[in-house]
């Protein structure tokens, strides 16, 4: 389950922030998860609480911000919605697509004490 490794590095980022910005507790974490990021939001929630246990973010709320997928279609010369990375352009059926949104996995915001 690669979500576990992702959550571990997320906790590392949070702990580094805590040292730099001198906060002692995290109340909530907002995490952007793109539809094309190959990350299971519920698995992230589960892993985060497992990894955060006993640490600075142990009691933090884990808020998921879903980002839908989008791509630039070279044939249509426009941005089109994309549900899966391997999906064709919904307009022309072509595969000349460049993903422009939906592959993110990042901490958007922290609410801290
Ligand atoms: Zn197209």
Tell me what pLDDT residue 33 has: 96
Residue-wise pLDDT tens digits, 44-95: 999 999 999 999 999 999 999 999 999 999 999 999 999 999 999 999 999 9
| pTM, full prediction | 0.86
Mean pLDDT of the chain: 95
Question: Ligand 1 centre from 80 Cα, in Å?
Answer: 7
Phi, psi of 19 (to 5 degrees): -65, -45
pLDDT at 1 over 70: no
Question: Ligand 1 centre from 35 Cα, in Å?
Answer: 19
Secondary structure of residue 47 in the 3-state scheme = helix
> At the topology level of CATH, where does 2-112 sit?
hypothetical protein PF0899 fold (3.30.2320)
DSSP 55-79: STTTT-EEEEEEE--EEEETTTTEE
Question: Ligand 1 centre from 73 Cα, in Å?
Answer: 5
């Amino acid at each position: 389950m690669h979500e576990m490794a992702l959550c571990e590095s997320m906790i590392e980022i949070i702990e580094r922030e805590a040292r730099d910005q001198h906060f002692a507790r995290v109340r909530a974490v907002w995490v952007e998860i793109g539809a094309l990021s190959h990350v299971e939001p519920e698995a992230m929630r589960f892993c985060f609480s497992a990894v955060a246990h006993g640490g600075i973010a142990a009691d933090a709320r884990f808020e998921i911000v879903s980002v839908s997928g989008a791509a630039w279609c070279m044939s249509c010369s426009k941005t089109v919605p994309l549900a899966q990375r391997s999906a064709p352009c919904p307009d022309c059926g072509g595969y000349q697509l460049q993903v422009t949104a939906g592959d993110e996995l990042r901490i958007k915001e922290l609410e801290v004490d």
